[in-house]
Amino acid sequence: MMRTRPLKVALLGCGVVGSEVARIMTTHADDLTARIGAPVELAGVAVRRPDRVREGIAPELVTTDATALVKRGDIDVVVEVIGGIEPARGLITTAFEHGASVVSANKALLAQDGAALHAVAEQHGKDLYYEAAVAGAIPLIRPVRESLAGDKINRVMGIVNGTTNFILDKMDSTGAGYQEALDEATALGYAEADPTADVEGFDAAAKAAILAGIAFHTRVRLDDVYREGMTEVTAADFASAKEMGCTIKLLAICERAEDGASVTARVHPAMIPLSHPLASVRGAYNAVFVESDAAGQLMFYGPGAGGSPTASAVLGDLVAVCRNRLSGTTGPGESAYAALPVSPMGDVVTRYHISLDVADKPGVLAQVATVFAEHGVSIDTVRQSGKDGEASLVVVTHRASDAALTGTVEALRKLDTVRGVASIMRVEGE
């Protein structure tokens, strides 16, 4: 039987995503009512600039007092799309305390304080959903948290930032340098005026923390995620990657140790074979590759940002939370029972591509090989070229720990015959 009293929704933020949420709630009202079992009503919209014209939103719904809005007591669901840590954290906590469930797209807050927010939600018997926080429109959190709940996930590896993928794809396909590709991304609206959060990996690291926590039933905070940006990637790196049959992507990688006793989470540029499904992800698209015991290999692909795609994920959560509200239940909360330790980056084992500038004379290769051997790093292939007393030496290793590789590079820098380390890049997906 359809309930006639509407479920009331408070919207915090009315920017690119928030305005799309409000639009879809209005234009798809009948469909949402049929899917939920009751009408949903936009009861208030909290903004910073009340004078701005917001098409489709009645002016009387707009307020600058977000705290008063979430404290009303008649609000069923608060949708938070303002981002950042504060005031979002305080508003979400207040919403729980005053009887509302919460749908959020706030990756930074969830990566930093997700455990605390889940605890408050559980204390008050309310839902906290955040599908839109990780990969825009791509259904990812719910499949990992619910569809694969009976499976054991061993690895989650993906492209979770569209801006960086656009830049790297442009460098790969056109031979452009980093700055040239960034300028084009900015002109097209893919990159912010200050792209630091994207290109230095902060955005992807927050998403990696959320994904690792869900996949491994372990609390993983932003501080646990190793982060390395992509601003030092050059056209020469892409040329080297192509010689190996690879391309370069900024990857978020969350994996369980082989013995199952710990997990790691990291974000960094990496060479990936062209045969891997992630290598074909072009432009500003996102994709996440999941490996589990029973299901095997799964890939989730689609637009990872933008108003409409992100709003789609928000509305999906809104429908689920409203259904729970009607039935008097809550969905899955935090699952951190495994409580696995998060290992440091030094324990991560992978392959490496190292490019060295060396003196072009006999014995150099032997010296370099000896350093690798002394640090327990096995060499897979070596390529050397040069003239006029200078040479380039490219070494690709077998799998080695990050700590062992770091020690190797430090020792190489001390050799008189090594002029410099041109680049170091991990090789993933093999």
Question: What would the pLDDT profile of 219-235 be if each residue is shown by its tens digit?
Answer: 999 999 999 999 999 99
Q: 25 pairs with which residues across the strands?
A: none
pLDDT at 149 over 70: yes
pTM above 0.85, yes or no: yes
72-86, 268-282, 386-400: least confident range: 386-400
What is the Cα 259 distance to its own chain's centre?
A: 25
Residue 361: per-residue pLDDT: 86
Q: Extract the tokens encoding 363.
A: 């014995």
Q: Which of 275, 228, 233, 236 is nearest to 253 (CA)?
A: 228
Those residues whose C-beta lies under 8 Å from the C-beta of residue 96, and which sit 6 or more positions away, are 102, 120, 121, 123, 124, 126, 128
Q: What is the pLDDT of residues 167-203, one digit of tens each?
A: 999 999 999 999 999 999 999 988 989 999 999 999 9
Listed in sequence order, the residues at least 6 apart from 157 whose beta carbon sits closer than 8 Å to its beta carbon are: 251, 252, 253, 254, 255, 278, 288, 289, 291, 428, 429
Contacts of 329 (CB under 8 A, 6+ apart): none
207, 242, 249, 361: the catalytic one is 207
Question: Residue 136: which pLDDT band, with cuts at 50, 70 and 90?
Answer: confident
Report the distance separating Cα 265 and Cα 248, nearest Å: 19
DSSP annotation of 345: G
pLDDT of residue 305: 80
Measured distance CA(329)–CA(124) in Å, rounded? 12
% of the chain at pLDDT higher than 90 = 90
Q: Please enumerate in sequence order all residues whose Cβ is within 8 A of that of 65, keeping only pairs 6 or more positions apart, or say none.
A: 46
Contact in structure between 18 and 44 (CB atoms under 8 Å)? no
Alpha-carbon span 10 to 102, nearest angstrom: 10
Whether residue 107 lies in the annotated active site = no
Residues in the chain: 430
